[in-house]
Structure 1
């Protein structure tokens, strides 16, 4: 088991643009910087005992784990002011007790989708894809992580960039606006070949 040995942990809640999600920032490292995992349901969380425990709260519908925070998405009309103390206490107690975050041998396969799409692309498409990945890594992802989410490159084909939106970004009412007015404009300006940006992971 990958365990956290720290015994004193501070946890605070931070709101983000998605009213159904809350970001819980912790004083310990859960994953290496730049890595993250997204669990849209209990069945997908087999490699994370922490995520499985969070899904035991009947109002939790999604769990996103990044370097030093956990974003929890709820599926209930209950207000966050009532839920935050319970989740904060649980996270603090769990990590302080050395509870495993991930199962033994778990490795985040960073940007697996990008690697797979590179295998299908060649020549100019590969170069354009790499430019897009670099822009997402350096300019977009840090801002998205601040809001408790993540964005990863999936593919580039005929001027269309497809990305994955995870964590608080999935199902966020403002995600489509951010995607079009922010990310799409940036990529069009920096990579002239880009015509459009679309996303997987936006719940309708």
Structure 2
């Protein structure tokens, strides 16, 4: 088995491609060791000591290292953990539980007006078909949280969560796209 590695726009995060599916549906982000207890693979990556984030995408694993960590030393350790996991055929989640799947959901805090259902459907379609694939290429994901009074609320995950260019991605990229296709959108904010 060969695991490819790609850089991401976030210098603290590398994207690892095992050449086989990682998640069959959804995504999952782990931001600390306690979260990582749900997944033997995430737990093993956090046990390396220098890992501060793990993100499972459809066909990749993004790993974020702590500030000042030397990737030249950490990368071979991460590859070794990933190889051990995928070669052994171990389950991704403890007990084979798939509860780690994150399905994009609307938060009550950002709940949309039911009268905006058509607008919300357009926004979700654009995010699903245009935005999420592009963000996944950079080792992350974007989750729709809600639409209220012209403002779309989104959460960046994986490599995109701590990326220095995430604000520009939200404001110049995603906001511009949504405003172009959905005139009711006036702004995009991180949630």
* TM-score, L = length of structure 1: 0.86
Residue in structure 1 matched with residue 3 of structure 2 by the alignment: 11
CA deviation map 1:27-53 (0-9, x unaligned): 1211125x2111111112232111111
1:176 Cα deviation (Å)?
0.4
Q: Distance in 2 between matches of 1:95 and 1:199?
A: 34
Q: Distance in 2 between matches of 1:48 and 1:127?
A: 37
Residue in structure 2 matched with residue 110 of structure 1 by the alignment: 103
**Are 1:53 and 2:53 matched, yes or no?**
no
Give the length in aligned residue pairs: 188
Residue in structure 2 matched with residue 5 of structure 1 by the alignment: none
1:109 Cα deviation (Å)?
4.5
Equivalent position SS for 2:164: coil
Q: CA RMSD in A?
A: 1.7
Residue in structure 1 matched with residue 16 of structure 2 by the alignment: 24
Unaligned runs of 5+ in 1: 1-8
Contact 2:27 2:102 in 1 (8 A): no
CA deviation map 1:67-118 (0-9, x unaligned): 111000011413222221121122112220222211223242411x23x55x
* TM-score, L = length of structure 2: 0.92
Residue in structure 2 matched with residue 96 of structure 1 by the alignment: 87
Contact 1:47 1:106 in 2 (8 A): no
Q: Distance in 1 between matches of 2:84 and 2:35?
A: 24
Q: Residue 58 of structure 2 is aligned with which of 36, 58, 67? A: 67
Q: Residue 43 of structure 1 is aligned with which of 34, 48, 73? A: 34
Equivalent position SS for 1:23: strand
Q: Label 1:164 to 1:79 Cα distance change in 2 as closer, same or farther (>3 A).
A: same
1:134 Cα deviation (Å)?
0.5
Q: Distance in 1 between matches of 2:34 and 2:80?
A: 24
Q: Residue 155 of structure 1 is aligned with which of 146, 149, 152? A: 146
Q: Distance in 2 between matches of 1:170 and 1:128?
A: 26
Q: Distance in 2 between matches of 1:134 and 1:194?
A: 14
